[in-house]
């Protein structure tokens, strides 16, 4: 049975218009006016300005520099501290001022704490269980709460014995094998992280098999999350392609299963020792004890613990490497810190955690190192969940915000004309006491730890480790520039960086480690032996 014919409104209207030119002109004029008024009223006209790109691809061809943070800093001078870039049709807003990041990411954190979708790295490769990628939802709150229980400022003192032992091993090893100073830094960071998270005894090498497995996992995750790594991120419908036809899916699912088994094994080793009566503190032990109250599963806890290792070990080693470069390049700051350490600690014993609060210059050096050379030039992206405005600019729901940490940490208006220099004095008052930096940085003095509700949960633990490491190194030794075979001091490169996609490191440089006295070397060895390692 055929259906009755419907009226042909389109053809009738076209015939009417073609037979009446005046009516056609009027209709066209009305349509144009409607479009103009609609565009004029659209909030999208008020998006932050930004560099022009090419159709479909946007600014992709302008983002090929390895030092994009410097490119963005230059663009901020032209387009303003808040500007828009287009990456394959996706609008991203780059934040370059203290005011903007504080207002948008801190004050309005309830709206800007989500993360961009990452199908391969987050959803498939790691099962959505990496807290730094997790969306701002109930799972994130559970994982964040579990991490906070173990790392808040009130409980991190329980990890001081581990950090002290690791600092002693590092300093003593550096005196014995000064040419391998960089390896000692990496072993220290990896070993301290393994001890604090899994109650693992001190590692003999930075190449411990367990450490290598976690590092490999972090590398896979980083590569998978890089822009352009997988077509499925641009065409999400491809996620429905069966694994047998999608290599990326097969590999990601394989590694999620493999890594989950490995990480759960590390976690359950702690559970087994607890069942045998071992009550030594560790992050895993706290998670096990609190899992029922927090509602976290074994797999969630295992991945949360591993995330803390991946986020902490390499960054701590990188901060220490940048600090070594600063000590060699700016020996006057090394001398001032040593003078304070000698005054507070003396030369008849090694520094301990009881001294740290009195070592203001050392604490200032930590803040200045993290400000001067942030280990990550960009913070992890934030995403908004509702429409918003900032200084008349429209920020639509789903906006991806890129905080340019490098620009924020080198803001001349906030840190002064010497913002590009290494100068710990900026964090000390006229009495030589530690003081806070710019207001938007809260008590950190910089933005390297992140923003809002996504700020690094382990920042207090990191500061604790860095203070002990630096105090012991400066108490025991002098750090001098390396020399070539003719005894000529090798030049230092303070500006170029090595970017492995995870963190920034200085280009390779040599350090001559010089023990300050035979007595210092002897006391280090005796104190290390007293700890049993």
Dist. CA 128–CA 134, nearest whole Å: 6
412 in Cβ contact with 404 (< 8 Å): no
Q: How far is CA 11 from CA 260, 342, 392, 533, in A?
A: 63, 93, 45, 90
532 in Cβ contact with 495 (< 8 Å): no
Dist. CA 279–CA 264, nearest whole Å: 19
Dist. CA 141–CA 457, nearest whole Å: 12
Dist. CA 82–CA 71, nearest whole Å: 14
3 state SS for 125-174: CCCCCCCCCCCCCHHHHHHHHHHHHHHCCCCHHHHHHHHHHHHHHHHHHH
The pair of three-digit structure tokens given for residue 301, joined into one six-digit string: 């806890």
Q: Is 456 annotated as a binding residue?
A: yes
366 in Cβ contact with 467 (< 8 Å): yes
Dist. CA 71–CA 56, nearest whole Å: 21
The pair of three-digit structure tokens given for residue 196, joined into one six-digit string: 């604090």
Q: What letter does residue 378 receive in the DSSP assignment?
A: B
Q: Is 322 left (phi over 0), alpha (psi -120 to 50) or beta?
A: alpha
527 in Cβ contact with 166 (< 8 Å): no
Q: Comparing C-alpha atoms, which of 508, 497, 221, 509 is closest to residue 377?
A: 497
**Strand-strand pairing, 400-403 and 477-481:** unpaired
Known binding positions for heme:
456
Known binding positions:
456
């Amino acid at each position: 049975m055929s259906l009755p014919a419907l009226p042909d409104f389109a053809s009738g209207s076209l015939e009417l218009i073609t037979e009446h030119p005046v009516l056609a002109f009027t209709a066209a004029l009305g349509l144009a006016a409607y479009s103009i008024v609609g565009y004029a009223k659209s909030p999208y006209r008020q998006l932050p300005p930004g560099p022009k790109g090419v159709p479909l691809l946007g600014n992709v061809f302008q983002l090929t520099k390895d030092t994009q943070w410097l490119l963005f800093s230059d663009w901020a001078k032209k387009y303003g501290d808040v500007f828009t870039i287009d990456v394959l049709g996706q609008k991203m807003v780059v934040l370059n001022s203290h005011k903007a990041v504080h207002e948008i990411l801190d004050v309005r954190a309830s709206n800007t704490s989500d993360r961009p979708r990452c199908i391969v790295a987050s959803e498939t490769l790691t099962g959505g269980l990496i807290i730094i990628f997790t969306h701002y939802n109930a799972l994130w709150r559970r994982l964040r709460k579990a991490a906070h229980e173990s790392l808040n400022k009130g409980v991190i003192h329980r990890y001081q014995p581990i950090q002290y032992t690791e600092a002693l091993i590092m300093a003593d090893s550096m005196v014995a094998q000064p040419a391998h100073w960089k390896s000692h830094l990496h072993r220290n960071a990896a070993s301290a992280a393994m001890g604090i998270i899994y109650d693992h005894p001190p590692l003999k090498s930075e190449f411990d098999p367990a450490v290598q497995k976690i590092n490999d996992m972090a590398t896979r995750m980083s590569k998978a999350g890089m822009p352009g790594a997988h077509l499925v991120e641009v065409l999400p419908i491809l996620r429905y392609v069966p694994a047998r036809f999608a290599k990326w899916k097969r590999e990601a699912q394989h590694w999620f299963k493999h890594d989950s088994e490995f990480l759960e094994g590390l976690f359950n080793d702690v559970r087994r020792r607890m069942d045998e009566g071992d009550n030594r503190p560790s992050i895993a032990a706290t998670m096990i004890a609190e899992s029922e109250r927090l509602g976290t599963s074994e797999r969630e806890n295992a991945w949360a613990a591993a995330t803390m290792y991946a986020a902490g070990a390499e960054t701590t080693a990188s901060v220490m490497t940048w600090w070594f470069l600063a000590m060699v390049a700016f020996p006057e700051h090394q001398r001032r810190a040593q003078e304070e350490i000698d005054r507070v600690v003396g030369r008849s014993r090694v520094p301990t955690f009881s001294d740290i609060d009195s070592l203001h210059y050392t604490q200032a050096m930590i803040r200045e190192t993290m400000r001067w050379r942030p280990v990550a030039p960009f913070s992890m992206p934030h995403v908004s969940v509702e429409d918003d405005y900032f200084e008349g600019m429209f920020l639509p729901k789903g906006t991806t915000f890129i905080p340019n940490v490098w620009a924020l940490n080198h803001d001349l208006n906030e840190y002064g004309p010497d913002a590009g220099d290494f100068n710990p004095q900026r964090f000390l008052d006229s009495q030589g006491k530690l003081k806070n930096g710019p207001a938007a940085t809260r008590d950190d003095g910089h933005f390297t730890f992140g923003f809002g509700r996504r700020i690094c949960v382990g920042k207090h633990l990191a500061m604790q480790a860095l203070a002990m490491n630096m105090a012991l190194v400066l108490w025991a030794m002098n750090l001098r520039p390396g020399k070539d075979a003719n005894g000529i001091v090798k030049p230092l490169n303070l500006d170029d960086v090595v970017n492995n996609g995870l963190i920034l490191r200085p280009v390779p440089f040599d350090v001559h480690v010089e023990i300050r006295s035979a007595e210092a070397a002897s006391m280090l060895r005796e104190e290390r032996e007293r700890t049993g390692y």
